[in-house]
């Protein structure tokens, strides 16, 4: 194909390879845009849910509508802490500190179901092997927080090892592992204790979404830029200036 003083003459197989790479790069960019939109929706859902007035978790259990409350819903739960059977999630990170998240079972009234309450983060002192002091009173109380989930690793390797004794020191346990410890009355949601509540540690709860949406937008821009650069290179390589005869 001739355009002015230029002859455009692409060969078949390099052009097909370029087309495949262009499709892949564009699809990667679109995937990053969808991830950004998905995470923006999660953040918006979190903000909307936490703004709703708290509801009674005990009443929701009695009415059989706990699942309908949804993630991040603000609730109040009545019961008492089981101080003797706590779990410490190890290798948790808060800023530049590494330590533990403290999971304390709250025995609900009157059905005796168990709700794990994440009471927050405790930093680990460098070089200190002793576990932090996390004792809490066993008197009846009303506990407020938002419904969340267990921390999830980026990559899960192998099966969770459960040590002897209490508190249990666990690394990213699955829900089923905790059911084996507490029994079938363990509820699946985890209560993220409000910062205003007593008997808690460092708490700054945010949805666990990994990379923020703007990071995915930046990655999408990079993939689209690579696609544009590849297309321009394909045009330049297959174009030749026609010499004067």
Tell whether 97 is covered by a domain.
Answer: yes
114 and 165 assigned to the same domain: yes
More confident residue, 106 or 212: 106
In a domain, 133, yes or no: yes
In a domain, 67, yes or no: no
Instruction: Please tell me whether residues 96 and 163 are part of one structural domain.
Output: yes
Q: Quick check: is 111 in a domain?
A: yes
- The answer as to whether 62 is a domain residue is no
Residue 200 lies in a domain: no
Whose tokens are 């930093």? That residue is: 123
Q: In total, how many domains does the chain have?
A: 2
Alpha carbon of 139 to those of 18, 113, 213: distances in Å?
69, 16, 43
78 lies in the same domain as 130: yes
Question: Do 26 and 126 reside in the same domain of the chain?
Answer: no
- Read off the tokens for 82: 């089981």
Q: Please tell me the predicted confidence (pLDDT) of residue 196.
A: 92
- 127 or 108: which carries more pLDDT confidence? 108
Residue 29: pLDDT above 70?
Answer: yes
pLDDT for residue 193 = 96
| pLDDT of res. 173 | 93
Where on the phi/psi map is residue 4: left (φ > 0), alpha (ψ -120 to 50), or beta? left
pTM: 0.74
* Cis preceding-peptide flag for 71 (omega within 30 of 0): no
pLDDT at 10: 79
Give yes or no for residue 172 having a pLDDT over 70.
yes
Asked whether residue 204 is assigned to any structural domain, the reply reads: no
189 and 86 housed in the same domain: yes
216 plus 110 within the same structural domain: no
pLDDT of 71 > 60? The answer is: yes
DSSP lists the bridge partners of residue 87 as 103, 168
Pair (217, 188) in one structural domain: no
Q: Does residue 120 sit in the same domain as residue 230? A: no
**Same domain flag for 127 and 188:** yes
The pLDDT tens digits for 1-20 are 666 666 777 788 888 999 99
For the chain, what percentages of helix, strand and coil (3-state, to nearest 5) are there? Answer: 35, 30, 40
Tell me: do 179 and 82 sit in the same domain.
Answer: yes
Nearest 5°: the CA angle 136, 79, 48 is 100
Q: Which of 91-95, 103-107, 238-242 shows the highest mean pLDDT?
A: 103-107
| Residue 101 pLDDT > 80 | yes
The parent domain of residue 131 ranges over 73-193
**Residue 68 belongs to some domain of the structure:** no
Q: Measure the CA–CA gap between 111 and 177, rounded to whole angstroms.
A: 22
Digit-coded pLDDT (tens) for 209-232: 778 899 999 999 999 999 999 999
Instruction: Tell me the pLDDT of the chain averaged across its residues.
Output: 89
Does residue 130 sit in the same domain as residue 99?
yes
- How many C-beta atoms lie closer than 10 Å to residue 46's C-beta? 18
């Amino acid at each position: 194909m001739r355009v002015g003083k230029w002859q455009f003459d692409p060969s078949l197989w390099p052009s097909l390879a370029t087309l495949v790479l262009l499709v892949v790069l564009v699809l990667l960019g679109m995937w990053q845009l969808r991830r950004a939109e998905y995470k923006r929706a999660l953040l918006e859902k979190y903000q909307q849910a936490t703004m709703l007035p708290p509801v009674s978790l005990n009443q929701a259990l009695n009415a059989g509508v706990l699942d309908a409350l949804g993630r991040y819903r603000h609730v109040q739960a009545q019961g008492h802490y089981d101080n003797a059977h706590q779990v410490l999630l190890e290798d948790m990170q808060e800023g530049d500190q590494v330590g533990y998240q403290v999971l304390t079972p709250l025995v609900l009234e009157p059905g005796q179901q168990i709700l794990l309450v994440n009471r927050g983060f405790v930093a680990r002192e460098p070089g200190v092997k002793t576990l932090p002091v996390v004792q809490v009173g066993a008197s009846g109380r009303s506990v407020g927080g938002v419904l969340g989930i267990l921390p999830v690793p980026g990559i899960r390797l192998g099966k969770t090892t459960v040590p002897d004794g209490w508190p249990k020191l666990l690394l990213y346990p699955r829900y089923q592992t905790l059911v084996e410890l507490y029994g079938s009355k363990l509820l699946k949601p985890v209560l993220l204790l409000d910062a205003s509540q007593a008997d808690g540690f460092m708490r700054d709860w945010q949805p666990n979404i990994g990379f923020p949406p703007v990071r995915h937008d930046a990655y999408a821009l990079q993939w689209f830029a690579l696609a544009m650069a590849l297309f321009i290179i394909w045009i330049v390589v297959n174009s030749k200036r026609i010499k004067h005869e």
